[in-house]
């Protein structure tokens, strides 16, 4: 797209725009109409530069500017009236991305980096209705004035099977497939963007807990339409100080009502939550999200060997769905 084409686009100023989201996929699509990116395990972040300076927003419109000052300073060299979409990640001593390091031990990270993958506003013009391949071409130009810790998130033309094998080897979270002609649809979970998870890990809504010094297990689930469904009791993954921090974060959400549509469960299994067991539960308003690792889904829809990773304050609970 040349300068004349940009001049014909709507004028726009950097502001928070709810990000576009990828839909879960059981397999990666094939074809020349798709490009593939590595799914990064970090915080979704929008970076805007206007005449007053740089603002960083989380996916829920919370300000990240003070949390990531090195990123904000780097974006000061971005052209005015520009808005970039990307992911903030922490790099550990081995060179791998670590979400746990990003959330709990940021000062120990070898590097905090911003991987830019989309351009929403460029030099005061909205690019939302511009095809993805053109937005990314303009993004490369826009990033030419900035340097570390800002990186361009590369895309790949590799066959999906080869890409999945490489992602597994490097312990990446997954792959994102995007249609090259896709427009940017704020706040939409579109089939034009698909995410394929490699490891068994995703976000779940926290709907309750069982007490015990100060909590024993989280009770988590996911949305199908307007209903929240129970998926697991999560006891593993807590060290003492994290257990206390999680309890402090959740105790203000206590509610008299169970938020899960499929409880109580009639069949008694190691993963079920029966009416008798529910007597010991403390219910919460479903306003909090946790990242959970697990080995697999059971045939009756529970998580096997669920393990707590972190609370995800950057995630909207209503966007949490079953991904695999």
Positions marked catalytic = 39
Element housing 296 (H / E) = strand 296-297
Give the angle 48-86-167 at the CA atoms, nearest 5°.
170
* Gap between the Cα atoms of 316 and 312, Å rounded: 9
Query: b/e map of 259-269 (b: 16 or more CB within 10 Å)?
Result: bbeebebeeee
| Residues counted in the chain | 324
The label of the residue with tokens 């939302």 reads 128
Q: Running DSSP on this structure, what letter comes out for residue 124?
A: T
Give a three-class secondary structure readout of the chain: CCHHHHHCCCECCCCCCCCCEEEECCCCCCCCCEEEEEECCCEEEEEEEECCEEEEEECCCCECCCCCHHHHHHHHHCCCCEEEEEEEEEECCCCCECHHHHHHCHHHCCEEEEEEEEEEEECCEECCCCCHHHHHHHHHHHHHHCCCCEEECCEECCCHHHHHHHHHHCCCCEEEEEECCCCCCCCCEEEEEEEEECCCEEEEEEEEEEECCCEEEEEEEEEECCEEEEEEEECECCCHHHHHHHHHHHHHHEECCCCECCCCCCCCCCCCCCHHHHCCCEEEEEEEEEEEECCEECCCCCEECCEEEEECCCCCHHHCECCC
């Amino acid at each position: 797209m040349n300068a004349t084409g940009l001049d014909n686009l709507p004028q726009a100023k950097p502001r928070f725009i709810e990000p576009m989201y990828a839909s879960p996929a059981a397999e990666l699509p094939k074809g020349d109409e798709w490009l593939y990116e590595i799914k990064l395990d970090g915080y979704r972040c929008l970076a805007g530069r206007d005449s007053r300076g740089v603002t960083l927003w989380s996916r829920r419109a919370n300000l990240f500017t003070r949390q990531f000052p090195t990123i904000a300073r780097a974006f000061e060299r971005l052209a005015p009236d520009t808005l970039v979409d990307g992911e903030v990640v922490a790099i550990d001593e081995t060179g791998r991305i670590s979400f746990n390091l990003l959330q709990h031990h940021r000062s120990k990270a070898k590097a905090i980096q911003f991987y830019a993958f989309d351009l929403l506003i460029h030099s005061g013009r909205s690019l939302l209705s511009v095809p993805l391949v053109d937005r990314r071409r303009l993004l490369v130009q826009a990033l030419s004035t900035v340097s570390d810790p800002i990186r361009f998130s590369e895309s790949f033309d590799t066959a999906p099977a080869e890409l999945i094998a490489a992602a597994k080897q490097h312990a990446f979270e997954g792959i994102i497939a995007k249609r090259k002609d896709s427009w940017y649809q704020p706040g939409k979970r579109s089939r034009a963007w698909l995410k394929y998870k490699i490891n068994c890990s995703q976000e779940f809504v926290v709907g309750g807990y069982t007490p015990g010094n100060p909590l024993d297990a989280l009770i988590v689930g996911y949305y199908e339409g307007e209903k929240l469904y129970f998926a697991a009791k999560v006891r593993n993954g807590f060290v003492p100080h994290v257990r206390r921090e999680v309890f402090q974060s959740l105790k203000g959400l206590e509610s008299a009502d169970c938020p899960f549509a499929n409880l109580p469960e009639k069949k008694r299994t190691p993963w079920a939550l029966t009416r008798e067991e529910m007597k010991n539960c403390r219910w919460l308003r479903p306003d909090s999200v946790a990242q959970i690792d697990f080995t697999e889904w059971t045939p009756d829809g529970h998580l096997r060997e669920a393990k707590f990773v972190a609370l995800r304050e950057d995630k909207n609970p209503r966007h949490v769905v079953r991904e695999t």
